[in-house]
C-alpha cells in the first residue's frame, strides 16, 4: 500500500520513537499493514541522543539471569543483582508500576536483551546495572530497530507531523491529518512522547490529540532534569564529580521527603548527575520550590562521631592544617568550599580549631545545605512527568477506555521512571504488547 492510500491502514503509529518503532514492528510481524508517521526527518532522534549517545537501553536489575548478555559485565555486578521485572517497576511511581505490569510480563528485560542481541546488537553491563550496546553507539540501537521494522514491511513516513486526528463514525475509520497529507486507519497507536527536549520533536503534540477523544492530561512537569541552586559557588566547581553523595530533599518545615545515594556533577548551570536527576522527579510533583533545599551528605559511610574522633586524633599528630584532615575522598576544591561555607581558613591549624567550629565542619560535611532555585525545565529534562491519565487506558491491551481502536503507549502517558535504562524498557515493553494487541 502506498503511504497516501485512501484504503485505511490496519494500523497507523504516530511517533517513531522507542515505543513507536517497537509497536510498528511487532504489528507488522503479525501481518498487519502498518504506517509509522514521524514528524522529524528521521526516526528515533531521542534514541540517538540518549545515554550520552551510547543509549542505556535497559537495566540488569530487571533481568532474571545474566546469561543473555554476550559482552563484558562490570566485575561489581553479580547474578544476585537480577531481581526480574519487579526491579523495573520499582523505578516508577506505584500507579505507573501497576500499569506497566502486563507490558513487562509480555516483554521482560531478558526478552528485550535477547531481541537486541539476536538482531545483531551485542550488549554489556556497566556499573549500577546499566545495559549498553557493546559498541557504545546509540546509532547502532536505532539501526537494528529501523532495519527490523522495515524488514517486516512496516512503512516509515518521515516529515509527517500529525496535526489532528478525527474518528469518522460512518465508516469506523480514523482520519489522521499531517502537515501535508490525510491518512486513514482502522486503529492508531499514539506515541508522540512527552514534551522534554522539544528541539528533537517532542513538543507535547500528543496531549491535544488524546484530549480530543476525552482523555485527561495530568499536569506535565520536567523530570530527570538538572537542578539550579542559589549557592553561586556551585558554578565555580563546574566539571567536578562526586561519585558517592547521599542527596536529601528537605521541605521548608525540615522534613526529608526524598533521598538518593549516587554520583553528583557540578556544572556551570548548577547540579546534575544520577542522584540529582533522580531527585528531580520528586521535585517535579511538588510544584513551587520556595523554601525547599537539597542537603548533601558528602561522606555517607562515616558517622559524625567517627569523623569527630578521627579529626581529634589526627589533629594531635603535629601542626597539621584543617584542610589536610578533611576526608581524602573529597576533591580539594570541594574541601576548600566546605571550609569557606564554615568560615574556616584552609591554613588554620587543626589542633587550634575551636570545638564549635569543628562541630560545624562535621555537620557541614554530613549536611551541606543548598537552597533550590528551580530546574532547567523541559529544555533539558530527560523525561516528562505527567501526561495521559493511566486510569483511562487498559493496561492489558493499552487501548483507550474512551475510544475503541485508539491505543496509547510510551511517554505520552503519565509514566516516568528513574535514570538507568528504565524509561526505555517501559517504551520497548509497551511497544511490544500493543503490537500484539492491536
Ligand X SMILES: Cc1cc2nc3c(=O)[nH]c(=O)nc-3n(C[C@H](O)[C@H](O)[C@H](O)COP(=O)(O)OP(=O)(O)OC[C@H]3O[C@@H](n4cnc5c(N)ncnc54)[C@H](O)[C@@H]3O)c2cc1C
Pick the binder of ligand X from 50, 89, 149, 364 (CB under 6 A): 50
55 scored as a contact of ligand X (CB under 6 A): yes
Cell 520536567 identifies what position? 222
Least distance from C-beta 408 to ligand X, angstroms? 10
Dihedral in degrees, nearest 10, Cα atoms 194, 200, 201, 206: 0
Least distance from C-beta 169 to ligand X, angstroms? 24
Closer to ligand X by Cβ: residue 3 or 349: 3
Pick the binder of ligand X from 427, 434, 437, 438 (CB under 6 A): 427
Closer to ligand X by Cβ: residue 365 or 383: 383
Cell 516508577 identifies what position? 92
Closer to ligand X by Cβ: residue 353 or 383: 383
**In the 8-state DSSP scheme, what is residue 380?**
G
Q: Which residues contact 124 (CB under 8 A, 6 or more apart)?
A: 69, 71, 72, 73, 131, 132, 133, 134
- C-alpha to C-alpha distance for 225 and 416, rounded to whole angstroms: 12
Least distance from C-beta 325 to ligand X, angstroms? 40
- C-alpha to C-alpha distance for 380 and 274, rounded to whole angstroms: 14
Least distance from C-beta 424 to ligand X, angstroms? 3
Residue number with the smallest Cβ distance to ligand X: 17
Q: Among 426, 366, 300, 386, which Cα is nearest to 19's?
A: 426
Pick the binder of ligand X from 411, 414, 432, 438 (CB under 6 A): 411
Q: Which residues contact 74 (CB under 8 A, 6 or more apart)?
A: 125, 126, 127
- C-alpha to C-alpha distance for 73 and 123, rounded to whole angstroms: 9
222 scored as a contact of ligand X (CB under 6 A): no
56 scored as a contact of ligand X (CB under 6 A): yes
Site string for ligand X, 189-208 (x = CB under 6 A): --xxx--xx---xx--x---
How would you classify residue 44: left for phi > 0, otherwise alpha for psi between -120 and 50, otherwise beta? left
Residues 249-252: contacts with CB under 8 Å, at least 24 apart = 249/279, 249/282, 249/283, 249/292, 249/294, 249/295, 250/292, 250/293, 250/294, 250/295, 250/369, 251/291, 251/292, 252/290, 252/291, 252/292
Phi, psi dihedral angles at 399 (to 5 degrees)? -90, 145
Using CB under 6 A as the binding rule, the residues of this chain from 9 to 48 that contact ligand X are: 14-20, 37-40, 45-46
Site string for ligand X, 161-180 (x = CB under 6 A): xx------------------
185 scored as a contact of ligand X (CB under 6 A): no
Closer to ligand X by Cβ: residue 338 or 413: 413
- Judged by CB under 6 A, the number of residues near ligand X is 37
What are 257's three cell numbers? Answer: 521527603
- C-alpha to C-alpha distance for 11 and 34, rounded to whole angstroms: 5
Query: What is the per-residue DSSP string for 24-88?
Result: HHHHHHTT--EEEE-SSSSS-HHHHHHHHHT---EEGGG-S-GGG--S-B-TT--GGG--THHHH
273 scored as a contact of ligand X (CB under 6 A): no
Using CB under 6 A as the binding rule, the residues of this chain from 364 to 383 that contact ligand X are: 382-383
Least distance from C-beta 83 to ligand X, angstroms? 18
424 scored as a contact of ligand X (CB under 6 A): yes
Stretch of 187-195, 283-291, 308-316, 365-373 contacting ligand X, by CB under 6 A: 187-195
Site string for ligand X, 229-268 (x = CB under 6 A): ----------------------------------------
Q: Is the separation of the CB atoms in 163 and 155 below 8 Å?
A: no
Closer to ligand X by Cβ: residue 62 or 201: 201
Least distance from C-beta 380 to ligand X, angstroms? 8
- C-alpha to C-alpha distance for 387 and 218, rounded to whole angstroms: 5
Q: Coil, helix or strand for 143?
A: helix
278 scored as a contact of ligand X (CB under 6 A): no
Stretch of 76-84, 185-193, 256-264, 291-299 contacting ligand X, by CB under 6 A: 185-193
Closer to ligand X by Cβ: residue 61 or 366: 61
Least distance from C-beta 137 to ligand X, angstroms? 13
Chain residues in the site for ligand X (CB under 6 A): 14-20, 37-40, 45-46, 49-51, 55-56, 161-162, 191-193, 196-197, 201-202, 205, 382-383, 410-411, 421-424, 427
Amino acid at each position: 500500500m502506498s503511504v497516501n492510500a485512501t484504503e485505511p491502514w490496519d494500523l497507523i503509529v504516530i511517533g517513531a520513537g522507542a515505543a513507536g518503532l517497537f509497536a510498528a514492528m511487532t504489528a507488522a510481524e503479525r501481518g498487519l499493514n502498518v504506517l509509522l508517521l514521524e514528524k522529524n526527518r528521521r526516526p528515533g532522534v531521542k534514541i540517538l541522543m540518549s545515554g550520552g549517545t551510547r543509549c542505556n537501553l535497559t537495566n540488569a536489575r530487571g533481568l532474571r539471569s545474566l546469561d543473555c548478555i554476550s559482552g563484558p559485565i562490570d566485575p561489581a555486578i553479580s547474578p544476585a543483582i537480577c531481581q526480574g521485572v519487579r526491579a523495573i517497576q520499582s523505578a516508577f511511581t506505584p500507579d505507573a508500576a501497576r500499569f506497566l505490569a502486563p507490558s513487562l510480563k509480555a516483554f521482560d528485560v531478558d526478552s528485550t536483551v535477547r531481541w537486541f542481541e539476536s538482531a545483531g546488537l551485542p550488549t554489556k553491563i556497566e556499573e549500577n546495572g546499566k545495559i549498553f550496546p557493546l559498541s557504545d553507539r546509540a546509532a547502532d540501537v536505532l539501526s537494528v530497530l529501523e532495519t527490523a521494522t522495515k524488514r517486516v514491511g512496516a512503512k516509515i513516513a518521515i516529515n509527517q507531523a500529525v496535526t489532528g486526528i478525527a474518528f469518522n463514525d460512518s465508516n469506523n475509520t480514523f482520519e489522521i491529518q499531517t502537515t501535508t497529507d490525510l491518512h486513514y486507519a482502522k486503529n492508531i497507536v499514539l506515541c508522540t512522547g512527552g514534551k522534554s527536549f522539544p528541539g528533537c520533536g517532542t513538543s507535547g503534540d500528543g496531549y491535544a490529540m488524546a484530549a480530543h477523544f476525552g482523555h485527561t492530561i495530568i499536569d506535565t512537569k520536567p523530570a530527570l532534569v538538572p537542578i539550579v541552586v542559589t549557592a553561586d559557588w556551585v558554578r565555580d566547581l563546574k566539571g567536578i564529580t562526586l561519585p558517592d553523595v547521599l542527596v536529601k530533599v528537605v521541605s521548608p518545615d525540615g522534613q526529608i521527603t526524598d533521598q538518593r545515594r549516587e554520583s553528583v556533577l557540578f556544572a556551570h548551570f548548577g547540579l546534575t548527575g544520577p542522584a540529582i536527576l533522580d531527585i528531580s522527579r520528586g521535585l517535579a510533583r511538588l510544584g513551587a520550590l520556595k523554601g525547599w533545599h537539597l542537603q548533601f551528605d558528602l561522606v555517607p559511610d562515616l558517622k559524625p562521631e567517627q569523623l569527630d574522633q578521627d579529626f581529634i586524633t589526627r589533629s594531635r599528630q603535629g601542626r597539621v592544617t584543617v584542610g589536610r584532615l578533611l576526608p581524602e575522598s573529597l576533591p580539594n576544591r570541594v574541601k576548600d568550599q566546605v571550609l569557606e561555607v564554615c568560615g574556616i581558613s584552609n591554613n588554620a591549624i587543626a589542633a587550634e580549631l575551636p570545638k564549635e567550629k569543628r562541630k560545624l565542619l562535621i555537620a557541614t560535611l554530613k549536611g551541606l545545605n543548598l537552597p533550590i532555585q528551580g530546574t532547567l525545565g523541559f529544555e533539558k529534562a530527560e523525561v516528562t512527568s505527567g501526561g495521559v491519565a493511566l486510569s483511562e487506558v487498559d493496561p492489558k491491551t493499552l487501548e483507550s477506555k474512551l475510544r475503541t481502536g485508539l491505543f496509547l503507549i510510551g511517554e505520552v502517558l503519565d509514566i516516568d521512571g528513574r535514570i538507568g535504562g528504565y524509561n526505555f524498557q517501559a517504551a520497548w515493553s509497551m511497544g511490544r504488547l500493543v503490537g500484539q494487541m492491536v
